[in-house]
Structures are given as C-alpha cells and as structure tokens.
C-alpha cells in the first residue's frame, strides 16, 4: 500500500500503510475482499456516498478526495468486514489518482503494448484483435472500458504472463488521449480514422485532429505509428506531427503497407479478399457488414503484425471474428433482414453504413432508420441535411427518422423526392414502419448511442 500512496501523492489518514491490496475497484456493488475502492465523483453519483457499502463488501482500503460531512482532520477508524482496520488515503482528485495508480501498475510489466483510437471503427478493430491475440494469452480491452475510468481498470488486469496487450482509447475532449496514452505507454499506436465525431466539443476541425494526434505525441518517441491511408484526417496528422516517425499505412483505396485486393461480397454477409501485407498475400474471409469493416480488418492485421503475431494466427483470428452487438450486427427475421449498427454514429460512419446497405441489399428494397448524430455543435443541422441528401442519392426506398436533429435529414431527403418520414417517438416510428415492411427488405438502423436505437431493433423484431 505504501508504494501506491507514493505513486498518487496521497496522504494516509486512517489505517496502516502496510495494508495489502488485492486489486482496484470503482464500483461499490462489485468490489471484492481486499480491494482498494476509489471513490469517484460523476454527474449522477458520488462514490464517497458508497464507501460504507464498499467496506461492507470487503474493501481493504479507500481512496477519497473528501472526508465524510461534518468531520475534519481525519475520519474515524473503520473496520473491514473481516474485522481488520481499513486504510484510507486522501488525494486531491480521485480520478487523477486512479490514472496515476494505473500508470504505476503498468510500469511494473513489459509486454508489447498497442493502443487504438479513432473517430470510428476502433471498437470493431479492437474486437478483431481480440479474436487474434486472446488465444495467445494477450490482454484486450473489455467492452467499452476505453475512457479515464475504463482504461485504468483494464491496466489493473495486466499481469506478468501477458506478453502483449491492446488498449482501446477514447476521447471527446482535448487532453484526454494524452492522459490515457501516458498511462498505457504503447510501443504501437494506430488511428482507425480521423473524422468529425465530437466536433461540437472543439473550436475547429483542426483542433479535433490535434486532439487525436495526442495518441502519437504522448506515446514514447520510438513507438510505431499506423495510420489509415484513406483518411484525410490521418494524412493531416502525418504532415503536421509525424516528421521523423516510423509510420505505416493501411487502406482500401490509397497505396498502403496493408491493403485488400480482389474484394468480393459473399452470402449471407461479409467479404472474401486478398490480404496484402509486407510478406505477401493471403485470401481471407471476413464475416462483417460494409467495406469499412475491411478497413478495420487491415488495421487489426497491421497492429497484430507489429505485435509479432504469426501470420497464420492473424488469418485465423479474422476469419473467427463476428461483429459485436449493435455494430453491424445482422438479424434475420423471416425474410426481412435488420442491420443493427446503432452503437454510435457520426457523419463518416453514417455514409459508410449507407454504402454498406446499398452493397449488402443489392436488388432488395433498402430501408434506413436514423436518429440524431450528437456532439456536432454548430455543424449539426448541416451534417444531418447531408445525410438526407445521401439517402436520396442512394435510392433508399424508405427513410424513417426520430430525434430533434434527424428531422433535418428527413426534410432534406423528402425535398429531393425520397420517401421519408419523421416521428416524434420510436414507438410511432416502429408502428408506421411495421405497416410498410415487405418480405425481402433490408433495414439499416443507425444513430448515436444516447438515442438507444436498439429499442427500435427489438420492437421491429417483435412486430416482424
């Protein structure tokens, strides 16, 4: 415990510095015996209100940034569920301390480490890497533990027998990627794409790109950089920040070290293609929706290759991959197909998904259910209008929208003579759409996470 107190610059206010800690938790509901409970403050909850619950669950130590109300100096002695004194460490900011603690834990080990970020595609790429390196005993970010809380919790899973690790790093504010990158200290960094996601949180598109470049700038100088050759934002970052860096490329269109050739759609969904890499080529089958998934597979291949994974294992992992829930997930209900791509949405990912719908559906009728793209700031109206234009240009048979912003997309598509309708609620949208769906239709459902369009997917499945 003493080393941890020193790592975070904390002050022991109760208990003993010799207390042995068996892990870290930020959730009082799942804390285990002997763990350190870090009391984080969030918009809806304050972990300090649950310290007693954590102790009752067996927490052996607490990290706090404020003392209980009405107390000054130090808290009273606390006994654990096993009757042992609970160590209490005070810090200025528990979130900052959590990151420092994770950085200290990371410094104890020396696996090969890769870090992924990007405006879209990073989670799918990470899941492809899971299929490749977990069979080899590699550590990979679980779920969406990719922020200033989730990344440290993933780091605490790192053990001496992990020879490689892949961390997904997310951001929506300047400085976040810098903090996360310094925690994980990657030898390989990869940007899946750099678009306009979260643009409303930045003064300009250039400021957003600079924030994405923090992944490169705060990694060790000798770290390998892997960029999307087809992303203009990645080209911009390379020109601005990569002088003298070891830069690799992956891409579908532009020349790249890792690329795909002879791409052929296959039934019921997915692609066969020749995977080109520095040692040759290999035919690969990928069960995923949309050609943007091939770009993700190329990124995963590049990262795994730099992690020195055997090429045969890379091919096997890609062929074993299946899309995670709500990220191009295919549902067959009778003769109707629903593509649930509703975990998130930004202008670039929506356009890619529409292209995927057109290719996947072929001659079948195409239906698009769309909800708001969030965090676009003053660009929101125009970006939603552009979605409406894209729908009209792609001959989508039915276009149904919900949400305050998506109405602009519906209005724009209707202005261009597409059959479009906007609905105040998801329930109204499903009721109207259920009357229109025909056998053979392919329905794409996409919107930002907070729009919870999985509700639409579930209701459509029940009605169909």
- Sign of the torsion angle spanned by Cα atoms 186, 188, 189, 190: negative
**Which of the listed residues 35, 65, 94 is the one where a domain comes to its end?**
94
Q: pLDDT digits over 71-127, tens only?
A: 545 555 576 656 678 999 999 999 999 999 999 999 999 999 999 999 999 999 999
Alpha helices in 245-346 (DSSP H): 292-306, 311-320
> Of 298, 320, 342, which residue constitutes the final position of a domain?
320
Tell me what pLDDT residue 74 has: 54
| Position 439 pLDDT exceeds 80 | yes
Kind plus residue range of the DSSP H or E element containing 453: none
For residue 312, tell me if it sits in a domain: yes
Angle at the Cα of 184 from the Cα atoms of 179 and 188, rounded to 5 degrees: 110
**Range with the lowest mean pLDDT among 66-80, 277-291, 394-408?**
66-80
Question: Which pTM value belongs to this model?
Answer: 0.93
pLDDT, tens digit, 9 for 90 and up, residues 401-422: 999 999 999 999 999 999 999 9
What CATH number does the domain containing 26 carry?
Answer: 3.40.1390.10
- Strand boundaries in 112-187, DSSP class E: 112-117, 139-140, 164-168
Whole-number pLDDT of residue 84: 74
Q: Is the pLDDT of residue 70 over 50?
A: no
Looking at the structure, tell me whether residues 314 and 335 fall in a common domain.
Answer: no
Q: Which range, of 45-49, 184-188, 353-357, averages the lowest pLDDT?
A: 45-49
Greatest CA separation for the chain: 73
pLDDT given at position 76: 54
Average per-residue pLDDT for the chain: 94
What would the 3-class secondary structure string for 378-436 be? HHHHHHHHHHHHHHHHCCCCEEEEECCCHHHHHHHHHHCCCCEEEECCHHHHHHHHHCC
Judgement on whether residues 148 and 205 belong to the same structural domain of the protein: yes
77 and 114 within one domain: no
pLDDT of residue 412: 98
Cis (ω within 30 of 0) for the bond into 419? no
DSSP strand pairing (336-340 vs 329-333): antiparallel
Per the domain annotation, does 65 fall within a domain? yes
8/119 Cα distance (integer angstroms): 31
Rg of the chain (C-alpha set)? 24
The whole domain housing 351 covers 329-463
**209 and 263 housed in the same domain:** yes
Which tokens in the block code for residue 134? 């977990």
The string of pLDDT tens digits covering residues 360-387 is 999 999 999 999 999 999 999 999 999 9
Same domain, 243 and 365: no
Asked whether residue 189 is assigned to any structural domain, the reply reads: yes
Same domain (yes/no): 355, 381? yes
Q: What is the pLDDT of residues 290-345, one digit of tens each?
A: 999 999 999 999 999 999 999 999 999 999 999 999 999 999 999 999 999 999 99
Is position 363 within any domain? yes
Beta bridge partners of 259: 251, 276
Residues 309 and 337 in one domain: no
Whether residue 13 is contained in a domain is answered as yes
Q: Which residues contact 416 (CB under 8 A, 6 or more apart)?
A: 388, 389, 392, 393
């Amino acid at each position: 415990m003493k080393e941890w107190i020193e790592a975070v610059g904390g002050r022991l206010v109760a208990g003993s510095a010799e207390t042995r800690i068996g892990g870290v938790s930020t959730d009082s509901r799942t804390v285990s015996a002997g763990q350190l409970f870090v009391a984080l403050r969030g918009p809806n909850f304050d972990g300090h209100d649950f310290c007693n619950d954590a102790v009752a669950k067996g927490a052996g130590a607490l990290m706090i940034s404020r003392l209980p109300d009405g107390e000054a100096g130090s808290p009273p002695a606390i006994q654990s569920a096993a009757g042992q004194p609970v160590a209490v460490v005070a810090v200025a900011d528990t979130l900052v301390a959590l990151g420092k603690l994770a950085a200290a834990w990371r410094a104890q080990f020396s696996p090969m480490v890769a870090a992924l970020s990007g405006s879209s595609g990073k989670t799918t790429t990470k899941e492809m890497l899971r299929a490749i390196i977990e069979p080899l005993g590699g550590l990979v970010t679980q779920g969406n533990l990719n922020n200033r809380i989730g990344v440290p919790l993933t780091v605490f899973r790192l053990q001496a027998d992990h020879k490689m690790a892949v961390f997904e790093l997310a951001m929506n504010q300047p400085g976040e990627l810098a903090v996360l990158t310094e925690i994980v200290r990657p030898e390989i960094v990869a940007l899946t794409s750099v678009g306009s996601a979260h643009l409303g949180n930045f003064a300009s598109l250039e400021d957003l790109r600079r924030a994405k470049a923090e992944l490169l700038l705060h990694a060790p100088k000798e770290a390998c950089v892997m960029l999307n050759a087809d992303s203009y934002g990645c080209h911009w970052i390379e020109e601005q920040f990569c002088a003298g860096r070891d830069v690799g490329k992956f891409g579908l269109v532009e020349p790249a070290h890792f690329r795909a050739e002879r791409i052929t759609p296959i039934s019921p969904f997915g692609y066969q293609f020749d995977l080109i890499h520095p040692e040759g080529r290999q035919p690969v089958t990928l069960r995923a929706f949309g050609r943007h998934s091939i770009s993700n597979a190329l990124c995963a291949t590049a990262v795994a290759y730099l992690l020195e994974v055997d090429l045969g294992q890379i091919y096997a992992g890609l062929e074993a991959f299946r899309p995670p829930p709500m990220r191009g997930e295919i549902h067959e209900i009778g003769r109707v197909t629903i593509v649930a791509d509703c975990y998130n949405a930004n202008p670039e990912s929506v356009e890619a998904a529409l292209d995927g719908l057109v290719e996947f559906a072929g001659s079948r009728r195409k239906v698009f259910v769309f909800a708001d793209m969030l965090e676009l700031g003053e660009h929101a109206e125009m970006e939603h209008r552009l979605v409406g234009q894209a729908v009209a240009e792609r001959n989508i048979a039915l276009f149904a929208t919900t949400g305050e912003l998506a109405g602009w997309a519906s209005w724009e598509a209707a202005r261009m003579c597409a059959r479009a309708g906007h609905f105040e609620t998801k329930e109204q949208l499903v009721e109207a759409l259920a009357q229109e769906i025909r056998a053979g239709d392919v329905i794409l459902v996409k919107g930002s996470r907070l729009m919870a369009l999985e509700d639409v997917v579930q209701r459509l499945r029940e009605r169909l």
